[in-house]
Chain A
């Protein structure tokens, strides 16, 4: 314990130097934590989003990813029935998506006085697209609106007019008036995107896409393996693109691999900075004490005890820095998250920086290991300096 007391007090001998070292390492630690959160956060968040509604598989037209293109699945009701009859399938939720125009009080032309709105056609009895916060699911003439739209003043019971984009001549046929039956959170809506949901047949009629679906969300029977079920379905339905959530996450991870690369590079940089910073501080500190170290060794204090004292000193610096740095990292991650949440085209539920205790532990462990490792080199160098020669040099 005496050695711990010595190490702790040594840090107080040069408070400004220690403080600067702590702050420097804290910044590096914050960066490391943020990069660890960024590196795995997007994947974890994406997986969480895709599984949040309880559907483990996604079915889209062959060669596409869900909502990646405007392609749709034909004979949607037939496909649904066939999928539902497959072993291991519990339920199938078809979804059709289309951009519509919502008419407002401004202007009068075919596209004037309108706002764009992403409308999803669903089977209200089986859907994983939205979660009602108030009201009820839509009926044939009803619409559930997202919060963004509700914030414009629309409320349950109000009527809105939706129209598919197209020529002025067809405008009448492609227009429908709907009563707002509910307000919901749309799970996959991007930031600021106005979303609404109507029944699948209603949207199909409005957009002239009879019996088509952009996507089918499939819930598998409890205990089944999603990847195995997806593989079996792919064999029997080569005309469809069938992927498990895990496979979609992998695909997304490949597409967003530059985030991981960025995180890996910056994370490594922060560890290098930590190592250099602690290494420099400890080298200066140890060089100042060569004479004392030699004297301590001369009176019989073992190399192990003296190295331990330096490692404890470095460890204390890193623990303090990690405590500050982890807090700082969370703060910075929160600020960056606010900026990145407006990233176009990404569901707003996606988080770039996901806090997980193990990331925190990894960041702390990384900094502590880098710090202690950095102190090891000057400490061992000092230990191997010849005692008598060092004392000769130090004594007048």
Chain B
């Protein structure tokens, strides 16, 4: 391990302390996440696995400052996101966290290039710069030939690659992916794992919530969630 990589990995990107998330569903109290503490360092690749309803997605949303915990504290890159306002958290996510969803959630009427440009436009990057960066990112995920294609004109695997490129648009240190291979076939899932591993090699910390054992086994470490708790 190089000194540079070792230094990078010492940087703590995510620190969750006794995080709980409860919500009410038709009058019943649901404890989706029950007192989880974890850390994710720069260069980490963590796979959160567990059965459906175990709280994987909820935990991922909490780690990405998409949702707020009922109790506990979450530090992202040293900032306590639980005390941020809605707008502050949105800005924080835009600049520090990349998110990938099972269903891609690309804008169907925008091209791959424009979809990747979107977060950069929101961050205020000049048109020329964001276009250059979006082209580079799409080339990086193997879609250099599909820049002007719309999501409806490319395969599911390619769409997820566009979504990954979009997640990396503002050069986040942390990439969170919720069931990123859930809509993909086995061979495309394998390609996605390769892409994640390659991005991780380049220094992006990745946390994936997945049912996909192949993907989980490709991560540097795994964490199993059952009933909202980490199973030791």
Contact = CB atoms under 8 A, between A and B. Distances in A.
Interface of A: 1-3, 5-6, 9-10, 12-13, 291-292, 295-303, 305, 386-389, 391-392, 394-396
Q: Which of B67, B92, B97, B178 has the most CB of A within 10 A?
A: B67
Contacts of B23: 389
B57 A300 contact: no
A300 B93 contact: yes
B149 interface: no
Interface stretch (B104-112, B153-161, B187-195): B104-112
A388 B58 contact: yes
8 contacts: A2-B121, A9-B109, A291-B103, A298-B66, A299-B166, A300-B91, A301-B118, A305-B122
Nearest to B91: A300
A396 B64 contact: no
B149 to A, nearest CB: 14
Secondary structure class of chain A's binding surface, majority of residues: helix
A395 B57 contact: yes
A299 B172 CA distance: 11
Interface of B: 23, 57-58, 61, 64, 66-67, 86-87, 90-95, 97-99, 101-103, 105, 107-110, 114, 117-119, 121-123, 127, 166-167, 170, 178-179, 182
A389 B61 CA distance: 10
B90 A303 contact: yes
B178 A13 contact: no
Contacts of B98: 299
A301 to B, nearest CB: 5
Contacts of A13: 108-109
Contacts of A292: 105, 107
A10 B109 contact: yes
A301 B109 contact: no
B97 to A, nearest CB: 8
The 9 closest A-B CB pairs, nearest first, are: A300-B94, A295-B105, A9-B109, A388-B67, A300-B93, A388-B61, A2-B121, A298-B66, A395-B102
